[in-house]
Amino acid sequence: MLERVADVTVILGYEKFRDDKNDSKGIKRLVSSVAMQLFKRSYKRAAASMADFAATVRQCLAELSELERQNCSSMDAAADAFARILSAAGKLTEGEHSETVQNLLYQVGRWVYIVDAADDLEDDHKSGGYNSVALRYGTKDGVLTPEQKTSLKETLYLSASLAGDAAEGLNLGKYSALIMNILDLGMPFVAGKVLEKQWHSKARKI
């Protein structure tokens, strides 16, 4: 399992560098290109041992890239493309609970994508970068109205809640309390701080 986790990390890291290389300019593009070369051999080895997972990651990122190119206003479509990457990692867990793990990771992935987009609203507005949350709500100057914050908070809380429901169906052993704390308390807390633009301040301390 440790080797599988290492391979997943290498595949995701390599694809992250590839994405940065395609979307960035200047020094960040150069750094990403160098990192890809350093990871290349490890990536080929990991992708060979996890061909299905590597293919799914490439496919989902290609779908996400196309949605960005189209300036797609469907927040759910963009979040789904990202969430299926984490869900695919759940397939690597063998046994009767594999589907439950996939569902858990899907909801976590969906939450991560949306909360990250919410956190980047103002920066993407300034840079002109793609942001599915901004397009979904038609924000002005990258700022959500109180009503829009409430709506977005509800969808983020829903994913956290569904992830928690999935986790309750697993035998998490000694990690149960920690994982449930993250899903039930940590994720909603972070979502609230992000939407109030407090996540990068001292207010994020619990």
Instruction: Give yes or no for residue 118 having a pLDDT over 80.
Output: yes
pLDDT band at 151 (very low <50, low <70, confident <90, very high): very high
Lowest-confidence region among 32-41, 65-74, 164-173: 32-41
Residue-level length of the chain: 206
Residue 113 has pLDDT above 80, yes or no: yes
Q: What is the identity of the amino acid at 134? A: A
pLDDT, position 155: 96
What confidence score (pLDDT) does residue 54 get? 93
- Name the one residue in this structure whose structure tokens are 């290349």: 40
* Phi, psi torsion values for 140, nearest 5 degrees: -110, 125
Residue 51: the pLDDT is 92
The predicted pLDDT at position 24 comes to 66
Q: What is the Cα–Cα distance from 13 to 7, expressed in whole angstroms?
A: 10
Work out the pLDDT band at 201, boundaries 50, 70, 90.
low
Rg (CA), the chain: 18
